[in-house]
Amino acid sequence: MMPTLARQALRAAATGLLMAALALPLAAQAGPGHDHSHDDAPPAASGNGPKRQPDGSVFLPKAAQRLWKLRTLPVAAGQHPQTLELDGTVVMDPNAGGKVQAAQAGRLQAGPNGLPSVGQAVRKGEVLAWVVPTAGAIERSNQVAQQAELRAAHALAAKRVARLKELADTVPRKDIEAAESELQSLAQRLAAVGVGLSGREALVAPVSGVIASAHAVAGQVLDARELVFEVVDPTRLRIEALAYDPAQAQGVQGATLALGEQRVPLRLVGAARSLRGQALPLVFAGEGRALSALVLGQPVRVWAHSGARVAGVQVPTAALQRNAANQSIVWVKQSPEHFVPRVVTTAALDGATVAVTAGLQAGERVVTHGATLLNQVR
């Protein structure tokens, strides 16, 4: 057994170590010049964040406005052209596009620069491909026999003309002219048959532009009038829109095409005089590099302008939101950090803006950027 004195010594040492450990935190807290009472304390919760008020308005501090990149715009009243939203399709301008077709059946051969691919730029008159005529054995043998007959007839006609010219003093002039005319006709017929046997048809670009569609493979056998290429000028396209109310279409004077954030003005070319699928087709023309993003057959939205005017306050479409009752609203800035919702009545203008006809006064500041975030505050 351990002696009693040794046990007492160990017990005293352990007690001393325990007291020293307990004294260290107290010494740290009581040290002069240091206050650590808040070193590890969590930050106090802020009561100044975005908050929906009982009346439906929103309190939004300046810091949150900067974080959300909130933007407002003072609105002004005015008269705006009444618009009609139509479904449209991109079509080819017949004066700035064309189709390349084979006039006769044959085998396709690549042009001087090879067969063009979709999207490749071409120039008017450029040879895109060749069509070598093909014929059956019987048809070709008939053409060869016809060529032989024409050669023989041409040779006889040439001898007759030469003999008549030798007797020019005794033969009437009209007989010589008739023989010469027959000789020329036989020569042309012989050349035509020769082209049919050994010639080839050139497929040329009808306009300058790009290849919109290509249905060409080297060695391909084509039928007569088969479509091989479509060429379009991407900066000159037309939009065909369908108006299901012919009465509304009568007053259309122009239109606007929405391409993302960009708006392209369109000129009315004309309206059809017959219905297509219970709708009246309207054709609009547009020009510019913005149209290069379109492709033939692409569906688009067209806002047709009529001569009628609508009075209201013009605001961006992005400012429109929906409340819990599914009503159209805009957010109006009443004070630096206070925003209120306004139920409004609108009329479409051009897809990017609307005319507020009721619920908003000229001069009020409407939230145009960040309205979606503001509408979600609860």
What would the pLDDT profile of 158-185 be if each residue is shown by its tens digit?
988 888 888 887 888 888 888 888 888 8
DSSP string, 200-249: -EEEE-SSSEEEEEE---TT-EE-TT-EEEEEE-TTEEEEEEEES-HHHH
Angle, alpha carbons 200-204-207 (nearest 5°): 170
- CB-CB contact of 301 with 254 (8 Å): no
CA 194 centroid distance within chain: 49
Based on the fold, state whether residues 183 and 240 are members of the same structural domain: no
Token pair in block for residue 136 = 């059956």
In a domain, 145, yes or no: yes
Identify the helix (H) or strand (E) that includes residue 307: strand 299-316
In a domain, 107, yes or no: yes
Based on the fold, state whether residues 250 and 338 are members of the same structural domain: no
Specify the pairing of strand 106-110 against strand 127-133: antiparallel
The boundaries of the domain holding residue 214 are 99-131+203-229
The length of the chain is 378
Q: Compute the Cα dihedral for 60, 66, 69, 75 and give only its sign.
A: positive
In a domain, 250, yes or no: yes
Based on the fold, state whether residues 325 and 286 are members of the same structural domain: no
Confidence at 6, pLDDT banded by 50, 70, 90: very low
Based on the fold, state whether residues 122 and 222 are members of the same structural domain: yes
In a domain, 24, yes or no: no
Based on the fold, state whether residues 276 and 265 are members of the same structural domain: yes
| Count of domains forming the chain | 4
Based on the fold, state whether residues 211 and 326 are members of the same structural domain: no
Check which CATH number belongs to the domain holding 126 and give it: 2.40.50.100
Based on the fold, state whether residues 345 and 367 are members of the same structural domain: yes
> Helix (H, G, I), strand (E, B), or coil: what is residue 318?
helix
Based on the fold, state whether residues 193 and 209 are members of the same structural domain: no
In a domain, 14, yes or no: no
Angle formed by the axes of helices 173-198 and 137-166, nearest 10°: 160
Based on the fold, state whether residues 89 and 237 are members of the same structural domain: yes
Confidence at 197, pLDDT banded by 50, 70, 90: low
DSSP string, 328-373: EEEEEEEETTEEEEEE-EEEESSSSEEEEEES--TT-EEEEESHHH
Residue 239, pLDDT above cutoff 90: yes
Check which CATH number belongs to the domain holding 339 and give it: 2.40.420.20
pLDDT score recorded for residue 30? 36
- In tens, the pLDDT along 62-95 reads 999 999 999 999 998 888 888 888 889 999 999 8
Q: Tell me, what DSSP letter sits at residue 182?
A: H
- CB-CB contact of 314 with 349 (8 Å): yes
Closest listed residue to residue 133, CA positions, set 103, 110, 107, 115 = 107
- In tens, the pLDDT along 319-349 reads 999 998 999 999 999 999 999 999 999 988 8
- CB-CB contact of 76 with 314 (8 Å): yes
Specify the pairing of strand 106-110 against strand 236-243: unpaired
- Domain closes at, from 308, 339, 358: 308
Q: Which residue has the tokens 């569906």?
A: 299
CA 113 centroid distance within chain: 30
Based on the fold, state whether residues 70 and 189 are members of the same structural domain: no
Q: Backbone phi, then psi, for 64, in 5-degree steps?
A: -70, -35
In a domain, 151, yes or no: yes
- Domain closes at, from 258, 274, 308: 308
Token pair in block for residue 207 = 């306009």
Based on the fold, state whether residues 163 and 284 are members of the same structural domain: no
In a domain, 355, yes or no: yes
Based on the fold, state whether residues 127 and 208 are members of the same structural domain: yes
pTM of the predicted model, to two decimals?
0.59
Angle, alpha carbons 222-228-229 (nearest 5°): 170
pLDDT score recorded for residue 236? 87
- Domain closes at, from 153, 177, 198: 198
